[in-house]
Structure 1
Amino acid sequence: MAPTPDSTAWDDEATRRAWTKLITCAIAGQTLWPAAWVGLLAWYAIMSITWTLWLFFIPMAYTFYRSFLQLAYFTGAFRARRLLQHYPWQVWETPESGIGNIPGVRAGYAWLKFPDPEASDQLVTMVMHSHVRSVWWGGRLGKRAKPERKTQVEELWFAGDPRFAAVIAAPGPRRLYVIHQRPSYNKSLPAEAHGASPQALERARRTGIHVPDPDPAP
């Protein structure tokens, strides 16, 4: 079902189901990854054979890492919900994208370009700074991606403001991912205004983005 531009993305039942799946996976990971780490640690302690440490080191290190990483999954899920509650879905066909190789983007980082909402002739670059849930996207955006994978992101759903933050998704929606400008969630400094109108700034503020205060009236 195509998104309806006159309502917020959250008004769509399929979107709410997709978000429920997102938060459910975060909760499951918060339970299963720590349990896996404790289980491996207990198994090693029971075996008490020094050389077996090498058999457990890599999986123990990975499960320990994922246990702490789960906070980022929760953060991403709740940021996604706030964005979906305030912005409608938009559909973009084959947006310009890639991995690295453009000014201001580090090698290996996936990026996309979207029109500025208040200057449609200008494109705004958004970078996938977080690798949480980005592997699927990164494998389909680069020039080296296989054609059958590229077709999965030829149509892209977008809810947000590229100057600040947005949720992108494969049609459905599926594979929800929060993509944002680095300053948008920096609590110490507000994001740059990027020429946004007071209405756009207020809308972004309601989603939890730290935007500058509007200029005082003369």
Structure 2
Amino acid sequence: MTSPVHYKTAWEDPGTRRAWRRTAMFRCAAALGCVPAFFAWLFAVVMTPVWLLVLWMPVLFAGIWYALLAVAGAASLTGIRRVLRVYPWQAGLAEVRSKKNGSTQFLVPDPERPEKTVGLEYGGGIGTGRHFWVRAVQSGQVTAAWFAGDPRYVGVVATPGPRNLLRIAQREATDWRMSPRKRGVSPDARARARAAGARVGEN
């Protein structure tokens, strides 16, 4: 059996496609689960005294925030697949550590200057503290990860298998208000990053 890291792209690996489908089912279920949760909240409001609204409103606001996170997670599925269709897996390449602000940092060697590392972060916001990549890294359960992508732009991390797929990106690679990175990146690397869905600027 061919190892996932030996395929030309991560998406060619059957195990990776299965992992993506599992991720898709979980995230879509989480997003759709927000609908009955809202009706349950509405039922509770109707069936309890009016003065209890002071308690139910914070629950609504928290629910809305978690619903937005769930929808964002489902929306990222296309981005994950796009990265996996361009780049291969690199096993154990990414060093993982927890930061003081509660986020998880992934340190990956620069593709064109391997002696240097590039950092990407996930988490640190309200509602992200229970995410696998935050909990597992804080507890010391995970210290390294598989990586597919270009850390200067965008990538996908996973635990060996692969499992627990997560898309991570540099802010300038996704935020149109910022200038995309050009310096120190070869034309071929920029073309691949663009194919993976990153903003790389004009040639």
Instruction: Give the TM interval when normalised to the shorter protein.
Output: 0.7 to 0.9
The AA in structure 2 aligned to 1:125 is G
Shift of 1:95: 1.7
Unmatched tracts of structure 2, length 5 or more: none
Unmatched tracts of structure 1, length 5 or more: 101-106
For 2:162 and 2:90, locate their aligned partners in 1 and report how far apart those are by CA, in whole Å.
11
Aligned to 1:20: 21
Shift of 1:202: 0.4
1:137 to 84, 109, 133: 133
Aligned to 1:207: 196
Structure 1 residues 27-38: aligned runs within 5 Å? 27-38=28-39
- Give me the TM-score of the superposition, normalised by structure 2: 0.86
Q: Structure 1 residues 108, 130: CA separation in 2 closer, same or farther (over 3 Å shift)?
A: closer
Shift of 1:70: 2.8
RMSD: 2.4
Q: Is the 8 A contact 1:94 1:153 kept in 2?
A: no
Q: Is the 8 A contact 1:133 1:177 kept in 2?
A: no
Q: Is the 8 A contact 2:83 2:149 kept in 1?
A: yes
Q: Structure 1 residues 10, 193: CA separation in 2 closer, same or farther (over 3 Å shift)?
A: same
Aligned to 1:197: 186
Structure 1 residues 34-49: aligned runs within 5 Å? 34-45=35-46, 47-49=47-49
**Number of paired residues?**
200
2:110 to 90, 108, 116: 116
Residues 18-68 of structure 1, C-alpha deviations (whole Å, 9 max, x = no match): 1111221222122211211122212321x2412443554444333232223
The AA in structure 2 aligned to 1:196 is V
Give identity over the alignment, percent: 31
The AA in structure 2 aligned to 1:170 is T
- Give me the TM-score of the superposition, normalised by structure 1: 0.80
Q: Is the 8 A contact 2:9 2:84 kept in 1?
A: yes
Q: Structure 1 residues 30, 96: CA separation in 2 closer, same or farther (over 3 Å shift)?
A: closer
Shift of 1:92: 1.7
